[in-house]
Every structure is written in structure tokens, then in C-alpha cells.
A and B are shown apart, each in its own frame.
Chain A
């Protein structure tokens, strides 16, 4: 069983290992190309908001919503996995 956290930390890969700590390269997981691309695009958008000090609450809401969708995509593509979503802007986590 893998315990993963979808987390848009600046310079992270977007996927964190809950118990081992650190970030997992999406290439090391059996994810589809579409999911990996969407993950990277989402990370870029989140990164921009970090540079803006997460000032715009509406954008953060949209990004967190998209992050949860990506988390569901990853959950559906991997077997034996538990997924959480962590909002890097609000520093809150949520079980998916």
C-alpha cells in the first residue's frame, strides 16, 4: 500500500510520500501521460501563486479544486494506494 499526498510545494514534484517523507518522481509511478502533464501544468500555476504570496483567494480555491481532481485521477490509476490532498497555500490536508 502506498500513502501519497498531492502537494504543490514549490520545487516539489507534486506527489509526496506520506510516511517516508520527501517527494516522489511521477515517472517512478505508473501514471498516464495525461495525468503527468496535468500535474505539471497545475504545479506551474501553483508556483506562480506562491510568487504572488497566495494573495488571491479565488485562484487558490480553483487551484485546490484542480489539485483534488488530479488526486482522484492518480487514485484511479494506481492500485493499493491511499491519497490525501494538501493545500500548499492554506496548509491544510484532506483525505481523498
Chain B
């Protein structure tokens, strides 16, 4: 049925065509977005950050950013690294085993159902493992940020500048020594490899930790 024109500009057919064109355009946009997301996921993330600053396993990491496995792409691999360090089997093992199982049993509806329930079970256990790995990375509770130099010095001279970040809450709970310009130094004695040492943290007036140090007490 031919539709009536409105004001000489648009007919129902035109409107339908425009509507269809718009739908195609939106579909194309969505497809482009999905493709971009997929490409982004394929792009390897830089893994030069090592562990997060609150990594309780090895005390390394990008000190300038408080650990947040959900927001920092660079820290993604850290979670897996910590998972392996804790004796958690890598994700790929589960999928490899699952693939073999499904191929072997998928010859009847009951078998297919078993495969689906197993898939759900493995998926659930994988996510619970991932959550456990994330939860175990919180080595400190304080909210100060770490300056970039903390990591540089920790890597360059670990003998004097790198110790577990899990110590930081205790060190920061001591009475600070006040210095010029509102700078605070927190010191705490302890032991490292059987030697008596003092641990030291420096905090700027802006709440940034830019000094972590330990030295044997003579």
C-alpha cells in the first residue's frame, strides 16, 4: 500500500526505509565496537610491572598504583602469576580436560547434558579460584599511594630497598619523625634473614610514599 506523503518530505515508505537504514547502521556500529573490543583483548598487555605493590608473595610491583586487579590492565597477568605461585592450576588445564571429556561423551542427549553441567561446574570453580587469587593479593590496608621511584629503587637495590609490602601497615602505625616540608619518616625495628634491621618508610605531605628502606643495625 502506498503511504501518504507528509509535507512533501517524508512518506511512510521513506520513514520505513530510514528506520531500516538506521537499524543497519546501528548494527554496523555494534559490530565495529565488538571487533574493537576483541582486538583490544588480543593486544598483549605490557607485563613489565611485575607484581602489584601489595603482592604478599614477592613484594614487587608498580608502586605508584594501589593494587586493583579490575581496573589496571597491566596487573592482569599478576593475578595468574600469583595463582600459580599459590599452587592453583592454570585455567588452560581445566579447558583442556573439559574438551577431551565432552568429545568423549557427547554421543547421546544425556551425555550432552552431562557435558553442559560439567561445563557449568568447571566455570564456577574457575571463577571461585580467580576470586580467591584476587583476595589473597591484599598485603596492606593503608590508602597511601606509592611513588614510581619506590619500584625503581626496589628493583635496582633490593638489598636495601625491597621488603614485603605486608610490613607497611605496621611500620606506618609507628609515631613518625617529622622533617622539613611536612615530610614524615616512620621507622620500625625487626629482623631480616636473622639480622636485626630497621625498616623505614618516608611519606610526603601529599600522602605519597616515596621512600622504603631497610638497613642492618650494627
Q: Which residues of A contact B (CB under 8 A)?
A: 9-12, 16, 20-23, 48, 50-53, 91
Contact = CB atoms under 8 A, between A and B. Distances in A.
User: Helix, strand, loop or mixed for chain A's interface?
Assistant: loop
B159 A21 contact: yes
Contacts of A51: 179-181, 183
Interface stretch (B84-92, B97-105, B122-130, B209-217): B209-217
Nearest to A18: B157
A62 B152 CA distance: 23
Interface of B: 149, 152-153, 157-161, 179-181, 183, 200, 202, 204, 210-211, 213, 215-216
Contacts of B179: 51
Contact of B159 (A10, A22, A50, A52): A22
A51 B176 CA distance: 14
A12 B159 CA distance: 12
Given A9-B160, A11-B211, 20 more contacts: A9-B153, A10-B213, A11-B213, A12-B160, A12-B213, A12-B215, A16-B160, A22-B157, A22-B216, A23-B160, A48-B180, A50-B183, A50-B210, A51-B179, A51-B181, A52-B180, A52-B181, A53-B204, A53-B210, A91-B153
A16 B180 CA distance: 26
Contacts of A52: 180-181
Contacts of B204: 53
A10 B160 contact: no
A10 B202 contact: yes
